[in-house]
Amino acid sequence: MADLQLKTTGSSRTVADLPCPPGLPLLGNLFQMAPAKLHLTLERWAKQYGSPFRVQLGTIPITVWTQVDLFQTVMRERPHLYRRFSPIESAMTELGGNGLFSAEGAAWEPQRRLIMRALSFSNIKAFYPTLSAITERFLVRLQTAAKENRTLEMTDDLKRYTVDVTSTLAFGEDPHTLEQERGVIQEQLALILPALMRRVTALFPYWHYVTLPDDRRLARAMVEVHRYVQKMIERARERMRQSPDSPPHNLLEAMLAAHNEPDSTVTDELISANVLTLLVAGEDTTANAIAWALMYIAGDSSLQYRLFEQSCAALGESRICPDYDSLKHLDLCEAVCSEALRLRPVAAIQTFEPLTEVCLGGVALPAGTRMLFLTRPGMLDPQNFVHPEVFDPDRWKHPRDPSDGVHEQKAYLTFGAGPRVCPGRYLAGVEMRLVISMLMKHFRIELAIDPAEIEEISAFTMVPNKMPVRLHPLT
Ligand code: HEM
């Protein structure tokens, strides 16, 4: 048994010893765990039962944890000792999307290397002029809406931006969804994560036996998505045939080049799965993080003014942050997003399973025990962040003065940690600075509804149910 925590915590308990909310015979807590509110239900139980506790999905026990040190331990001991929940891999395989996020074992490392290179610091810096041009197109779209006095559903508009960015960076093709109204690929992509959430939390793979309306819609969407991905791959192959001597310009071309090498393990299926993975991972997370930040900005006029001042100073005469180096003057723009992600982590639940029997936090966990870690409780713990309930972007300023109070960076697990930490975090940081500074320089933003009407929804990522915003032009 891998004895990770036993020495410090004394004798071990078993999973069956863990406290569990009362449920129904045979079904356990199944009907108390509506997928759309799962993170809120588990956070409430964590307060009541402490960590770890257990929930029963029928006869399957699922352990739920909040301790930051254990979260860190598990994340760092991947991929050899822990993996993500196995239903994620099987659900993504069925959807043709078993790429970097869901890959495990020997299949994970080579994919990680390719994608890390594509999303590296230096690549994003080289990509900056294109990123800035896409942000300019986003501004044009927003100015048109503002002129027409339209209320914008910001989560949708932000997803157009993130899809155009991810596709251009990773696949060398800009789908221009910012310039289209209907028929964009986001309409189909939007069904994937909620479906993943339903399937990962299902008692058994019911969709193998009955097809519900949601599953029919998903199947139709997946046909469209795969057609879209295949066409993009064919166009990239054609570009490479036209210029056989030029090096790969983006992730897709790098994967196609790796596929052509002798004894390559990069299959067509794997290329397609990673295109899909990046489209989904790059779209939803950053767009919703910025949307949550806008909710806080709209509710605080003095913060909005400070962001305006910072943006005007950094952008000067330019409409968009003029160059990569000027991004460093937009730290408050990124801080509001970091702070929004602390209070509203878009990855609110992270899933693991031990690959062998382990002892964690004094609990003996057989191989395959399902583990859910909740991201937010550690970030709302006063031992980790001073006045944790307060939205305070200034807590992210550098350098921090010790008299500012506790700020435990290790508890900020919104991008994960260890070998599988989010490879898209630099790109997300640049997108956040670019979009917030563009918005603040050109508009005063106002939420079109009472913030109390905005609900958190668990759709694999944790998203707002709506974020309607009115933009008032400043010039
Ligand atoms: C605010 C934005 C984002 C947040 C909060 C976020 C969060 C996360 C989290 C929590 C994980 C799991 C990390 C772990 O297991 O330790 C993850 C993994 C991943 N993210 Fe992100 N992400 C964001 C943006 C992006 C972007 C922009 C991309 C790509 C364009 C991306 C691609 C991925 C991929 C491919 C993985 C899987 C990595 C692996 O398993 O090795 N993410 N992300």
Residue 320 beta carbon below 6 angstroms from any ligand 1 atom: no
Cα–Cα distance, 210 to 230 (Å, whole number): 28
Whether residue 421 has its Cβ less than 6 Å from ligand 1: yes
Atom of ligand 1 nearest to the CA of 288: 1
Indicate if ligand 1 lies below 6 Å from the C-beta of 427. Answer: yes
- Note the pTM of the prediction, 2 decimals: 0.94
Tens digit of pLDDT for each residue in 75-109?
999 999 999 999 999 999 999 999 999 999 999 99
Looking at the chain, the whole-number percentage of residues with pLDDT higher than 90 is: 87
Ligand 1 centre to CA of 419 (Å) is 12
CA distances from 324 to 216, 309, 311 (A): 45, 19, 14
Query: What is the CATH classification number for the domain harbouring 117?
Result: 1.10.630.10
d(CA 202, CA 231): 33
SS3 letters across 46-95: HHHHCCCEEEEECCEEEEEECCHHHHHHHHHCCCCCEECCHHHHHHHHHC
Per-residue pLDDT of 306-355, as tens digits, reads: 999 999 999 999 999 999 999 999 999 999 999 999 999 999 999 999 99
Query: How does pLDDT run across 249-260, given as a tens digit for each residue?
Result: 899 999 999 998
Average pLDDT over residues 388-394: 97
> Which residues pair with residue 352 across a beta bridge?
371
Ligand 1 centroid to residue 360 C-alpha, Å: 25
Q: How many whole angstroms from 11 Cα to the centroid of ligand 1?
A: 36
Per-residue pLDDT for 6 more than 70?
A: no
pLDDT average, residue stretch 32-55: 97
What's the chain's length in residues? 475
What pLDDT, on the 0 to 100 scale, is given for residue 1? 46
158 CB near ligand 1 (under 6 Å): no
- DSSP assignment letter at 28: B
Residue of higher predicted confidence among 390 and 475:
390
Residue of minimum CA distance from atom 2 in ligand 1: 286
**CB distance 56 to ligand 1 below 6 Å:** no
Binding residues for heme: 422
Split into its structural domains, the chain has a count of 1
Which residue, 407, 417, 469, is CA-closest to 444? 469
Q: What is the DSSP string of 461-474?
A: EEEES--EEEEEE-
Q: Is the CB of 424 under 6 A from ligand 1?
A: yes
- 8 pLDDT band (50/70/90 cuts)? very low
At residue 11 the predicted structure's pLDDT band, cuts being 50, 70 and 90, is: low
Structure confidence at residue 117 as a pLDDT band (50, 70, 90): confident
- Which tokens hold the place of 170? 């990773």
What pLDDT was estimated at residue 402?
83
Q: What is the mean pLDDT of residues 372-376?
A: 98
Per-residue model confidence (pLDDT) at position 53: 98
Compute the distance from residue 59 Cα to the ligand 1 centre, in Å. Answer: 31
The pLDDT of residue 391 is above 80 = yes
Q: What is the percent of the chain where pLDDT is above 70?
A: 97
Q: Given a cut of 80, is residue 5 above it in pLDDT?
A: no
150-177: per-residue pLDDT in tens?
Answer: 999 999 999 999 999 999 999 999 999 9
Give the distance (Å) from ligand 1 centre to CA of residue 366. 28
pLDDT at residue 440 greater than cutoff 90: yes
pLDDT in tens, 295-315: 999 999 999 999 999 999 999
Centre of ligand 1 to C-alpha 375, Å, is 14
Pocket-testing residue among 275, 349, 415, ligand 1, by greatest number of atoms within 8 A of Cβ: 415
Cis peptide before 52 (omega within 30 of 0): yes
Residue stretches of the annotated binding site: 422
* Residue 10 scores a pLDDT above 80: no
Strand 13-14: give its sheet, edge to edge: 2-3, 358-360, 363-365, 13-14
Domain of 374, in residue numbers: 2-473
For ligand 1, atom 12, name the residue with the nearest CA: 416
pLDDT at 358 over 50: yes
Please tell me if the CB atom of residue 26 comes closer than 6 angstroms to any atom of ligand 1.
no
- State residue 2's pLDDT score: 44
Summarised one tens digit per residue, pLDDT across range 198-227 is 999 888 899 999 999 999 999 999 999 999
CA 78 to centroid of ligand 1, rounded, Å: 15
